[in-house]
Amino acid sequence: MAIAQNTIPLYDGPIPGARDTPNKEKSDTAADGMVRVSKISVPSMIVYLPKKEKATGTAVVIFPGGGYGINAIKHEGWDVANFLAENGIAAFVVKYRLPDSTTMVDPSVGPLQDAQQAISLVRKNAKAYGIDPRKIGVMGFSAGGHLASTASTHFRYAAKPKPVRPDFTILIYPVISFSDSIGHKGSRQNLIGKSPSAENILKFSNELQVYKKTPQAFLAHAKDDKGVLYNNSVAYAEALRKYNIPVELVLVEKGGHGFGLYNKQSDVQWPPKLLEWLKSINM
């Protein structure tokens, strides 16, 4: 098993858009072993590097899910990072800020700022980490998938788009849309409020934000997912195909929501398919 080398703060100086408030972060371990971190206001990143003889030069920045209310940091973060590192891929688990008007001026922008900072940091330190700065992807589960898809579509609005653009995207049972029909209402409410403007619903419905420079993507979703409808993954895949952007969509009949690395209800598992896909796109 790979071991997390170290945890680093995302920002050297002041956290952008943060209010001067006490750090009230809390971590709980449930009876099922799941670790849930809440009230995150000081973002950080955990580094998992593969053994040098296994290293492929590829890196993945991981965003755990949790409806923008928690980070499900073990089974959608640490466990996944270990799997990637064991397969020669450097992994970086981001503990991103959770939207909260008491800790940040604009709760809707904090998570994306952290995601872009994480991508930028990894790319800036590529040589030290032994990775190729042109092989840095993002990965997200559930609401972390929304954050990863936001990072994959909103980079064009950044002051300097190139350092924050992912080279590929991995989305596992992701929230993609904030529409009334297929969107995840809890994630939407936590990020943009109980009564969001039509403009913000459009802005954060990432199937509508795909354009010609959006990176290629791998998606996996169970059709019986009642937490986040699989239509989210289908909508994102279809949007990519409209621009002839390569996409791999793995749909399975059973699995529900939140299964992490291993879906106990299916014979088809996404991790080996992901590794095959990464090889096929030379990552």
Q: What is the CATH classification number for the domain harbouring 226?
A: 3.40.50.1820
Query: Confidence class of residue 106 from pLDDT cuts 50, 70 and 90?
Result: very high
Q: In the structure encoding, which two tokens stand for residue 68, read together?
A: 């923008």
Q: Is 25 exposed, middle or buried (0-12, 13-18, 19+ CB in 10 A)?
A: middle
- Inter-axis angle of helices 110-124 and 143-153, to 10 degrees? 70
Check whether 3 has a pLDDT greater than 80.
no
Mean per-residue pLDDT, 23-30:
93
| Predicted local distance difference test score (pLDDT) of residue 34 | 87
Query: Confidence class of residue 66 from pLDDT cuts 50, 70 and 90?
Result: very high
Flag whether 125 is in a domain. Answer: yes
Check whether 19 has a pLDDT greater than 70.
yes
Query: Confidence class of residue 46 from pLDDT cuts 50, 70 and 90?
Result: very high
| Predicted local distance difference test score (pLDDT) of residue 1 | 53
Flag whether 170 is in a domain. Answer: yes
- The residue segments making up the domain with residue 32 are 6-280
CA distance 232 to 89: 27
Flag whether 202 is in a domain. Answer: yes
Check whether 4 has a pLDDT greater than 70.
no
| Predicted local distance difference test score (pLDDT) of residue 2 | 54
Flag whether 185 is in a domain. Answer: yes
Mean per-residue pLDDT, 147-170:
96
Strand partners of residue 256: none
Flag whether 59 is in a domain. Answer: yes
Flag whether 1 is in a domain. Answer: no
Flag whether 86 is in a domain. Answer: yes
| Predicted local distance difference test score (pLDDT) of residue 31 | 81
Mean per-residue pLDDT, 86-114:
96
Check whether 135 has a pLDDT greater than 80.
yes
The total of structural domains in the chain comes to: 1
Residue partners of 62: CB distance under 8 A and separation at least 6: 76, 77, 80, 81, 91, 92, 93, 94, 138, 139, 140, 144
pLDDT, tens digit, for every residue of 75-89?
999 999 999 999 999
Q: In the structure encoding, which two tokens stand for residue 209, read together?
A: 């934000």
Residue holding tokens 């449930």? 30
Three-state DSSP at 104 gives strand
CA distance 275 to 27: 31
